[in-house]
Amino acid sequence: MGTRGDGPADDAGNALAVRLNYLFANMHPPGAPYTNAHVAEEIGRCKEEYGGVTVTEQYLSMLRNGKRTNPSPDVLRALAKFFAVPVCYLMGGLSDSQAARVEDEVRFLAAMRDQRVRSIALRSVGLPPEVQDSLSAIICQFRQQMNLPTDAPGEGGEERP
């Protein structure tokens, strides 16, 4: 790794930039994604909650574009807390399968922001498993007709708890 993120981005820095950009694009309330300014302001406004860290919008921009690649663990902890992901996800301390699982959860939460998706999911609660399976098969048929992957992105055939 570079010295405190000066110089060209390395693989870990690129991974951090990719993961941060993924979180900015997907982990937000309904409406527009978070901006660097909003995240910096929120972390600064709630210093106790985020470990007393201060981060600027410019620094977040540099992290997101790979110009800074080695933020302090405190900054990573604050960002992980803000986006509600394990700090190891940002630090690169997860295996590929563990990181993929975090991203699956992020995709799930992003999908649940859509009122129509929530409505379909909530309406299936309490139905017998065989009926839920039938509904799933119908959705797969619609996805196939629309030339979409049969499984939703990140679904991979695993059941959610």
Write the pLDDT tens digit of every residue in 20-78.
Answer: 999 999 888 877 889 999 999 999 999 899 999 999 999 999 999 999 989 999 999 99
Residue 116 pLDDT > 80, yes or no?
A: yes
Token code pair at residue 107: 């995709």
CB-side exposure of 133: number of CA atoms within 13 Å?
A: 3
Q: What is the pLDDT of residue 5?
A: 40
Cβ atoms of 1 and 9 within 8 Å: the answer is no
pLDDT digits (tens, 9 = 90+) for 119-146: 888 999 999 999 999 998 998 999 899 9
Kind and range of the H or E run holding 159: none
User: Domain 9-95 in CATH: superfamily?
Assistant: lambda repressor-like DNA-binding domains (1.10.260.40)
Distances, alpha carbon 86 to alpha carbons 90, 99, 124, in Å = 7, 10, 30
